[in-house]
Amino acid sequence: MSRIALVGGTVLTMDDDATVHANGYVVIDGDSIVEVGSGTPALRPDDEVVDTADQIVMPGLVDLHYHTAIGKGFSDHLPLWEYLDTAWYPLIRNLDADAAYWAAAASYLESIQCGVTTVNDMYRRLPDLARAARDIGIRAVLSNDVALEEHNIDKLDDNRAAYQEVHGLANGRVEVYVGIEWLPLADPELLQGARALANKLGTGIHIHLNESLTEVEDSKKRFGKRPTEVAYEAGILGPDCVAAHCVWLSDREIALMRETGTHISHNPSSNAKLGNGIARVPEMLAAGINVGLGHDAAECNNSRDLFEVMKFASVIHRANRVDSSLMPAPDVVRMATRNGSAALKHNTGQLTAGMKADVIVLDTQNPMFTPLIHGDANHIYSHIVYSANGSCVNSTIIDGSFVMRNRKLTFMDEKEIVRKANEGFQRVLKAVQANS
């Protein structure tokens, strides 16, 4: 396979020094980045040279809290708990294998189109999701929706079986974590079981934690403690754990997250749409907690565009605290790239030699990037966070392969994905109605 050399663009490396090359290059060999710099690289005769003039070359985005989604645009005005009971759980309980595959493909399609190269996807039927990730080319960490048996979702045994079947698939692009739906559908014994399973498999944990005030009240009522305290005592927290949302953390809960090295996925647009509140992200960052960004699910966000999430992650805290100095654009881009990657222990999130080649190319010849001062890093970060959206993504490279090139999907047919995902939804909806 010939090497790929992206030359002539503005290269936003997101490396330790936040280096930006105004006229830079990135050379990819196999699944890895082998060279990054300014000017012209030493090319080999069979290198595939891609001209990225008037484009920004940057690390792919990491969507740190994600659910494959099948039916967005329904029950859009309900609070979280009622929404889950009336829309989300009935749909995922009636999911068939084909519907799961195409729902995942449609979800990953939108993400790839918006420059997302990694998803941390908690859902059901992981082998079908894994095949969709393999076929479309995305990097995916998958976990089950594990809850107590009476809730009729997934069990730890499902998660164990999924790990054994698909962990490591597609050159290691697919991994399996242990997932816990959320505390209202769990108890300390189930959390302890999830920790034991993760340790036994040597894998990580993905959990919804402290998402809503009703969750906090339910936890205090059932266990006499706040959600993060229950998770801490059950041993769930740790450097291999991604906790999603964490909206209503007390000072003590922030300290527990910090003490255990737990990673947090901040999902501001989902939290806003569901009326769940605004997470204390400035305090989390001040405490030294690693915080990445997630869209959550298209059912509770409606868009998988992580550019939109980046903008929310900055502006929502400024509005809330009446302080325009909060959450500056370079920090937010770092959250969407390096921080997400660090949470999943991936060798991605920055463009440096030796990293896996997860790279996106943004077009700047459009009003989103006008005017543009080439080489002015802060100006470019601002455009990415406050002005751009996913439609500026020209190409998405994952594990060294173009999975989308000039807006065209490489390995699957976009129209077929949309058609099959729609058919799958209709079938699942009929099953929901027949079984209700």
Alpha-helix runs per DSSP H in 114-225: 126-136, 156-166, 188-201, 213-223
CB of 244 to Zn ion, least distance (A): 5
Pick 36 or 249: Cβ nearer Zn ion = 249
418 forms beta bridges with: none
- Stretch of 148-156, 258-266, 295-303, 321-329 lying at the interface with Zn ion (CB under 5 A): 295-303
CB of 297 to Zn ion, least distance (A): 6
Bridge-based pairing of strands 205-209 and 174-180 is parallel
- Binding residues for Zn ion, rule CB under 5 A, total 1
Tokens 């393999």 correspond to what residue? 134
Alpha-helix runs per DSSP H in 6-125: 80-83, 89-93, 97-113
Distance CA(388)–CA(365), nearest Å, equals 12
Binds Zn ion (CB under 5 A): choice among 215, 253, 296, 399:
296
CB of 306 to Zn ion, least distance (A): 15
29 forms beta bridges with: 32
Pick 253 or 296: Cβ nearer Zn ion = 296
CB of 75 to Zn ion, least distance (A): 15
- Stretch of 170-178, 184-192, 291-299, 384-392 lying at the interface with Zn ion (CB under 5 A): 291-299
CB of 171 to Zn ion, least distance (A): 27
**Residue of minimal Cβ distance to Zn ion:** 296
CB of 89 to Zn ion, least distance (A): 13
Pick 303 or 391: Cβ nearer Zn ion = 303
CB of 208 to Zn ion, least distance (A): 5
Pick 29 or 296: Cβ nearer Zn ion = 296
- Stretch of 2-10, 196-204, 296-304, 311-319 lying at the interface with Zn ion (CB under 5 A): 296-304
SS (HEC) of 403-436: EEECCEECCCCHHHHHHHHHHHHHHHHHHHHHHC
Tokens 């959390």 correspond to what residue? 191
260 in Cβ contact with 241 (< 8 Å): yes
- Stretch of 163-171, 215-223, 230-238, 289-297 lying at the interface with Zn ion (CB under 5 A): 289-297
Determine how many CB atoms are found less than 10 A away from the CB of residue 431: 17
Angle value at C-alpha 177, between 404 and 256, nearest 5 degrees: 115
Pair of tokens at residue 432: 């929901």
CB of 375 to Zn ion, least distance (A): 39
Of the CA atoms within 13 Å of residue 383, those in its CB half-sphere come to 22
Pick 175 or 296: Cβ nearer Zn ion = 296
Of the candidates 87, 79, 63, 86, the residue with the CA atom closest to the CA atom of residue 299: 87
Pair of tokens at residue 286: 């001040």
- Stretch of 131-139, 199-207, 294-302, 303-311 lying at the interface with Zn ion (CB under 5 A): 294-302
Pick 107 or 364: Cβ nearer Zn ion = 107
Pick 304 or 356: Cβ nearer Zn ion = 304
Q: Which residues bind Zn ion (CB under 5 A)?
A: 296
